[in-house]
């Protein structure tokens, strides 16, 4: 896929938009969180939505420091999400060559062991370079024919033309309570108001009843995900 085609696919309306995840036949999901709170801000309501359906959700936290790790555990306790993997990379270094190779190995090992058929990663156009490194690492280790759906979630950069919306209205109060566990981030980044604004906005744009809050994603099958990521993040035109 050429870079121009990949950018068009990421920044143009797509012909089919899905609402909720029932048609994906998910059996096990993985959330790749570069930093503590990414998992919650990007897809905390969706985690609750899937757990409520009896679908196991694992969280892989890639970087952390001690205070935010405590906040991470408290937040996931509120979500009743018990399956957690802690990878002790340094914040801001996931894209460095040595660390990136280790990151690929960790992600490959998880997928080979657990066989997830839905994986959540940050949005490829997010401004944080650790987020982009995770997107690229997953692309590098995925086999094109593996039956897995990749969902990009939004943290700092809103997704252009999402093609999947999850109604998280029934779970938003629980998600909001979990966000408050991240005391170190509340004042500096104003994450509660930011999260309320974004996901209420997403719900308001959907012409469906009872979508007060929604989380939005850009989803791909493995082959298409690899093509898009490789085209956008490579250095060739």
pLDDT surpasses 90 at 175: yes
**What number is the average pLDDT over the span 10-25?**
85
**Whose structure tokens read 């007060």?**
212
pLDDT surpassing 50 at residue 181: yes
Average pLDDT over residues 203-218: 91
Torsion of CA 161, 33, 151, 58, to 10 degrees: -150
Cα 128 versus chain centre, distance: 13
Name the percent of the chain lying above pLDDT 70.
Answer: 99
Range list of H helices, the chain: 3-11, 38-52, 66-79, 97-114, 129-141, 172-179, 183-189, 191-205, 222-233
- Overall average pLDDT of the 18-24 stretch: 83
For 87, 134, 135, 236, the CA distances from 129, given in Å and listed in that order, are 17, 9, 10, 19
Q: In what order do the strands lie in the sheet with 214-221?
A: 18-19, 164-167, 214-221, 149-153, 118-122, 29-33, 57-63, 83-89
How many whole angstroms separate alpha carbon 49 and alpha carbon 122? 19
Lowest mean pLDDT among 15-19, 56-60, 161-165: 15-19
| 36-54 residue pLDDT tens | 999 999 999 999 999 999 9
In the chain the domains, ranked by start, together with CATH numbers, are 3-233 (3.40.50.10320)
Is residue 236's pLDDT more than 60? no
pLDDT value for 237? 42
- Where does the pLDDT of residue 16 fall: very low under 50, low under 70, confident under 90, or very high at 90 and above? confident
Choose from 8-17, 60-69, 160-169 the range with maximum mean pLDDT: 160-169
Beta-carbon neighbour count of residue 110 at 10 Å? 19
pLDDT score, position 198: 96
> Is a pLDDT exceeding 90 seen at residue 160?
yes
Q: Which residues pair with 152 in a beta bridge?
A: 121, 218
Token pair recorded at residue 98 = 């040595």
Per-residue pLDDT tens over the stretch 63-82:
988 888 999 999 999 999 99
Sign (positive or negative) of CA dihedral 161, 165, 170, 171: negative
- Residue 149: count of CB within 10 angstroms of its CB: 21
Average pLDDT on 93-120 reads 96
Query: With bands split at pLDDT 50, 70 and 90, how would you rate the model's confidence at 187?
Result: confident
Residues pairing with 183 in the sheet: none
Confidence band of 98 (pLDDT split at 50, 70, 90) = very high
- CA dihedral for 132, 138, 140, 146, sign (positive or negative): negative
């Amino acid at each position: 896929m050429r870079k121009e085609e990949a950018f068009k696919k990421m920044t143009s309306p797509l012909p089919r938009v899905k609402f909720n995840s029932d048609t994906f036949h998910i059996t096990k999901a993985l959330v790749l969180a570069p930093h503590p709170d990414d998992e919650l801000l990007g897809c905390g309501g969706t985690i609750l939505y899937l757990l409520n359906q009896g679908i196991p959700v694992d969280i892989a936290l890639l970087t952390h420091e001690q205070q935010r790790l405590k906040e991470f555990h408290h937040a996931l306790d509120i979500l009743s999400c018990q399956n957690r993997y802690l990878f002790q990379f340094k914040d801001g270094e996931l894209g460095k060559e040595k660390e990136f190779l280790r990151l690929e190995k960790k992600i490959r090992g998880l997928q080979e062991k657990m066989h997830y058929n839905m994986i959540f990663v940050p949005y490829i156009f997010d401004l944080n370079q650790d987020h982009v490194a995770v997107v690229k690492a997953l692309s590098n280790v995925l086999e094109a024919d593996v039956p897995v759906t990749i969902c990009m979630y939004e943290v700092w950069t809103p997704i252009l033309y999402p093609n999947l919306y999850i109604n998280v209205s029934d779970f938003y109060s629980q998600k909001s309570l979990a966000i408050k566990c991240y005391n170190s981030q509340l004042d500096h980044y104003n994450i509660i108001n930011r999260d309320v604004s974004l996901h209420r906005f997403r719900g308001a744009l959907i012409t469906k009843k009872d979508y007060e809050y929604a989380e939005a994603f850009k989803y791909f099958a493995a082959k298409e995900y690899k093509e898009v990521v490789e085209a956008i993040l490579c250095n060739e035109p």
